[in-house]
Amino acid sequence: MNISPYAGKPAEQSMLVNIPKLISAYYTEIPDPFINEQKVAFGTSGHRGCSLKNSFNEWHILAISQAICLYRKQQNTNGPLFIGIDTHALSLPAYATALEVFAANEVILMIDENDFTPTPSISHAILTYNKNRKDGFADGIVITPSHNPPTDGGFKYNPPNGGPASGEVTKWIEAKANEFLINKLNGVKRIAYKKALHAPTTHRFDYMNNYVNDLSNVINMDIIRDSKISIGVDPLGGAGIYYWEPIAERYNLNLTLVNKTIDADFRFMPVDWDGQIRMDPSSAYAMKNLLALKDKFDISMACDTDYDRHGIVTKSEGLLPPNHYLSTMIFYLFQHRPQWPSKAMVGKTVVSSNMIDRITKKAGRNLYEVPVGFKWFSSGLLDGSIGFCGEESAGASFLRMNGEVWTTDKDGMIAALLAAEITAKIKKDPGEIYKELSNELGQSFYDRTEAKASPEQKALLGKLSPEQVKQTELAGEKITSVITKAPGNHAEIGGLKVSTENGWFAARPSGTEDIYKIYAESFSGAEHLKQIQEQAQSLVDEALKQK
């Protein structure tokens, strides 16, 4: 992975997106549905793209929105549609377009009283509405490209289970939307935006207070308040920026926002590893501003742009790698949530640390291992069979205190606030706790490398097969398994994972960007990890040579 010389530094003027040009392209450029890069394409979580590349334009949103209307009718989902946006520049134009279509189709819309809506508060609203309901179920739309660069837009559908839509659902919506594109939007219903805003089916909804007032049922806010620990928060200019001060006021927390800036070009963000501006709270480059303040607070935290991912900064260790914090959360929660079901499992993705396996075993719980994508956890969170689940990319959610569902989508806010609860309760920060766990269970050496990949190369990597692994050893150890399906639910992982007793690697294309990723871990040391990575890269290089 080649680190940009600008990584961790303020963005140069030339790196900033031209917002007027970006929005103009959204409205004026027309995608060609016969070019793959310009089609509607749902990745691990919704359709994402850039208006300047003709991959996220008004036509896409018109087509997707009408397709969702048809899907809702087919499924008899006739309750309200909860909809919200993040702070990316393309989110508001997409929101206006979507409202025009949904209102024209007489969909009951629940729009935010405020400007922005975090992903978890939409999932929370859907589940709260649907609880104990027999029919008339609600669903939702999240307009966000997550932590992607400022040039990008994203559009995600959450069905009545409150979480990201399954592949079966998104394939149907994707196919129908592309039909609309091919037919030049014939069949798409639409009314003027102003008329849509004031339609009898359009209602204002207080997402923030419904979410904030319920937090004490998932986080022990009393312990945080009584401890008086100091909490630093960098909102990273994201959708939850207006939530933190009401949380502090409602629960009387010693909490400080270190940056209140909102700017669609995100010029206040340090540049990420590759020279891109990216609101990734798991990146030490993107989190450099908060890291500089780590000694000022007992615990510090951040979330990405739509608030479904978390970043935890401790005095003891600085920015915690996501796997370290996921492990610490599991260790803590299964000791301090006595009302959780005794058989509630731990959910992880195939590319998350094996430290999670060891801590799960220590906790006496079963592991549920799935492909990358939070959609695989939604049903388990909904029925309480999963107590906690997380992804190595810093997304997680967990049950309420009483063992009932909180959200079925990732929730960066509760993950962040749990770090404050842990610090207040244990009198140690999560970094100190993880260090003790690694002393007991073994030290993990984990790394994820990324490199650019064309859509064609990504397709090749997604089709890697066990037969392509000819060797019987990996970094001097006998290979114990080569899988392309996840052990927990036997779903395709969209890549390949090779394991030994003390290490493993997985290679897969990104579902959201034109890059591929190699994940690797060793419990035998940094040199062993390096050997694993080198062999993994050789396999990927061979795969990319295929025609």
Positions annotated as catalytic residues are 146
> What one-character-per-residue DSSP string does 452-486 give?
E--HHHHHHHHT--GGG---SEETTEE--EEEEE-
Question: Residue 50 in contact with residue 86, Cβ under 8 Å?
Answer: no
Burial status of residue 214 (CB atoms within 10 A of its CB: 0-12, 13-18, 19 or more): middle
Phi, psi of 388 (to 5 degrees): -145, 145
Query: What is the rounded (10 degree) CA torsion for 45, 47, 53, 54?
Result: 180
Question: Residue 309 in contact with residue 341, Cβ under 8 Å?
Answer: no
C-alpha 329 chain-centroid distance: 17
Quick one: CA dihedral 59, 62, 65, 66, positive or negative?
negative
Q: Which residues pair with 203 in a beta bridge?
A: 110
Burial status of residue 478 (CB atoms within 10 A of its CB: 0-12, 13-18, 19 or more): exposed
**Nearest-angstrom CA–CA distance, 521 and 209:** 41
**Nearest-angstrom CA–CA distance, 45 and 388:** 20
